[in-house]
Amino acid sequence: MKTHYFKQNLTNQYLISIFSVIVIAIICYLSSDFIGYRSVALILLATVSILAIFFTIFPVLVAATLSALIWDFFFIPPHFTFHIDSSEDFLLLLMYFVIALINGILTSKVRQLEKLQVQKEERNNTLKLYQTLFNSISHELRTPISTIVGASDNLMQKNPNISENDKTNLYSEISIAAFRLNRLVDNLLNMQRLESGHINLKLEWCDIHELINSALNRLKSELSNYKIKVTITESFPIVQLDFGLMEQAIFNILYNATLYTPTETTIEIICTFENNFTTIEIADNGKGLTDEDLKYIFSNFYRNRIQKTGSTGLGLSISKGFIEAHKGKIFAENNLPNGAKFTMKIPTESLLLNDDFDFTELMFKQKRQNESQVENTYN
């Protein structure tokens, strides 16, 4: 497959090179009475130089050779012959041919060196990315696995000195560690989906209250020591979103807030709808964002200097990817007087609620439609 593509691409380069030289030569021929044949040499040489910037060496050498032959045959007196009367013109043709070849070769070599340098940088970035991923995952896996192994070992020993209360605490530790592992796996899978570009939105009619509550319930334990303030504008319509992706995006931002915000402070969620845009703001009262944070906060594996354990640095980049999959945007800024604020703005279709609106019936129709799509997919 790659060999076929390479051959096809190389063939296109030959054709474009030959076509470009011929077209420029025709234009020059029609204007030869005004520009002179020596000026034509400079124009053809410039054409070969431009081709050398974009194409590989062999199509450029063909263009250089063809341009020299065309210049000799059509422009150097006597016309329509390869014979040259003037030794000066012969030397000029020879110098043109040499310069065109050298220019094409050198330009192509420079391009190859630049390409090799780019490939080297990409390899280094890839290695750095995988090293960061390995270090992050190994660190994040070690703690919950150690917790599960230690707690389960204590329970399996059936030590009579372990009280029922201690057993309950050990079960709780195993559960928390398991959820932490599950969160890590989810983030890695979501990152893989984003990197591969295989995200197909499953748009459905969503109640914004249900969406926010679902994310908050998943973080019930982590948010238990925070004051949560949710503000949703009146008459907020039913909007079309991918519920699963949006819940995960909100979840990641809220979880990030728990890592940086002191307990007993307020995390505020504000939802508004205006001009067919759903806007969700999540603000906390933590230490805020540095200039470096604002620049890299949505990058994969970014973790600032005061990062607590419990995060791979993927959550916010995944949220950004899910928001952009909805053709929306996400912004990060400092929340005055202190803390951080994340704003998600997504273009959405909407339905206004009224007394006659049957949301249950809408959900039923939507469920049947989704089931029908699945059946069609398998059939």
286 assigned to some structural domain:
yes
Phi, psi at residue 241, to the nearest 5°? Answer: -145, 165
What average pLDDT does range 357-364 have in this prediction?
A: 54
DSSP secondary structure string for all residues of 318-344: HHHHHHHHTT-EEEEEE-SSSSEEEEE
Q: 117-121, 199-203, 329-333 — which one is most confidently predicted on average?
A: 329-333
What average pLDDT does range 162-187 have in this prediction?
A: 80
Which one is predicted more confidently, 366 or 10? 10
163 assigned to some structural domain:
no
Segment 77-113, tens digit of pLDDT: 888 888 877 787 788 778 887 887 787 777 777 777 8
105 assigned to some structural domain:
yes
180 assigned to some structural domain:
no
pLDDT value of residue 2 = 43
What is the Cα–Cα distance from 151 to 22, expressed in whole angstroms? 79
132 assigned to some structural domain:
no
Segment 273-327, tens digit of pLDDT: 999 999 999 999 988 888 888 888 888 767 665 555 455 667 888 889 889 989 9
Domain boundary pick from 121, 145, 171: 121
Specify the number of domains making up the chain: 2
Segment 34-65, tens digit of pLDDT: 888 888 888 888 888 888 778 877 888 888 88
110 & 237 share domain: no
What pTM, to 2 d.p., does this model score?
Answer: 0.56
- What CATH number did the domain enclosing 247 receive? 3.30.565.10
Which one is predicted more confidently, 218 or 228? 228
Residues contacting 187, CB < 8 A, separation 6+: 252, 312, 314, 315, 318
State the chain's mean pLDDT as an integer.
Answer: 80
Q: State the residue range of the domain holding 87.
A: 2-121
Among 257-266, 334-343, 363-372, which stretch is predicted with the lowest mean pLDDT? 363-372
Which one is predicted more confidently, 53 or 231? 231
362 & 251 share domain: yes
368 & 232 share domain: yes
Ordered strands of the 277-283 beta sheet: 227-232, 266-274, 277-283, 340-347, 329-334
* In the chain, % of residues over pLDDT 70: 79
